[in-house]
A = this chain, B = another copy of it.
C-alpha cells in the first residue's frame, strides 16, 4: 500500500472535520483506494486547545516552518481562513513542488492568478472544498463538463441567506426576525454582514465563474446586492405570481463578457432550485450538451467540507510524480458585463387615482420596458401598493426608468426592485 504524508495548516472547523473523518473512515479509504493517508504535522494557533482523538500531541505545532519545511511531507493541506498568511504558504508549497489542497475560498478567489500561474494552470492544486462544502462543484465543472459550452450557472451557495429566506417564505417572518432566529440556531454569525450582503457568495462565485469563463473573474467585478432589503410582503406577492425568492449567484457567459452577479431573485416555483430549502446549497448548470444539471447538498459544515478535502487529498496523491496537465487559462482578461437583460419585479406605492398608471407605463415605455403582469393591492385607501413584472429588459434602462418614476409627483415611493430569473 502507498502511504502519503500530509501536512495540515489550520485545525478549526474544517481541519477538525478532516481529522475526525480520517480517524473514522481511514481504514475504509485504505481498503478502497489502496492508500494510507498519514497526518505528519498539524499547524495550530493554540497548542493547549483540545483536538480530535487519535492524533498524538507531538504532531501539533504552532510553527509553520515545521510543516512547510518538512521534506517528509508529500502534500500540504491548507484549511486556514482569509487571504494571509494562507497565500504565502500555498505559493511556497507549490514552489517546492508539492501538491496543495485548500478549503479556503478567500485565498483562492483573491489570489487566483498568482496561484494558477505558479502552478502552471492549476497543476497539482485542488480546491473543491473552497466552494460549497461537500458539493463537488469544482470537480464537476473541471472534470465532467468539458464537452459543454456552459451557458449559465445558477447557485444557491450561501446557507445563511437560504435559511433566512426559507423562514420568511414558510413562516411569513420578517427579515429581522428570521435573521435573529438564524443567529440563535447557529446558522448565522453574530456579524452576519458577509452572508447577508452577499460577500461570501461573491467569493465563491468568483471561483465558479473563473472556471466557467476560462479566465479570472475577480470578486471586485461581481455585481452584488444583499437580502436585507427584502420585505416579507415581496415574498408573499411573489408567491401569488408563481415565484419563490432565493439568493442567487449567477455566472453567465457571453461571447465578449462575463455576467457575474449575486442578488436576491424570484425564480419560478417549479424550478428545481425553488425547492432547495433551509441551509442547503445547490448549483444548477446549463450546458449546451448536458442540458440542465443540478447538484444539491450541504454547502458547509465540518464533515461535508472534510469529504471534499479528503477527496482532493486522494486525487492529489495520485498525481504525485505524474505530468498532469494544467488547464486553467490565466492570460485572458475578464470583461465584466456592466449591463444585462433581466425580467424585473417592481413594487411601488402610488395614490389611488386615475392617470397614475398611465404616467408610470409611459415612463417604462420610453425606456423600452414592457410589462408582463401588474397587481394592485388594496382599494379605497389613499395610497396603494402597485406591483409590476416586466418582460426582459436592460438593467440600466430599468434603473434609469425607476429614477425617473421615483422623482415623479404621481408616485409616493419605489419600494423594491427584484430580479426575476428563469
Contact = CB atoms under 8 A, between A and B. Distances in A.
Interface of A: 17, 21, 24-25, 28-29, 31-34, 128, 134-136, 139-140, 143-149, 214, 272, 275-276, 280, 287-298, 301, 303-304, 306-311, 314-315, 318, 322-325, 327, 329
Contacts of A323: 322
A276 B147 CA distance: 25
A403 to B, nearest CB: 40
Ordered nearest first, which 7 A-B pairs have the shortest CB separation?
A147-B310, A136-B144, A293-B297, A134-B290, A290-B307, A289-B307, A294-B296
Contacts of A136: 140, 144
Contact of A301 (B29, B276, B291, B311): B291
Given A275-B272, A294-B296, A308-B144, A303 B325 contact: no
- Chain B CB within 10 Å, residue with most, of A34, A311, A315: A311
A371 B212 CA distance: 52
A84 B268 CA distance: 46
A147 B21 contact: yes
Contacts of A291: 134, 297-298, 301, 303-304
A126 to B, nearest CB: 11
A143 B311 contact: yes
Given A128-B144, A147-B306, A295-B295, A32 B214 contact: yes
- Chain B CB within 10 Å, residue with most, of A24, A139, A143, A309: A143
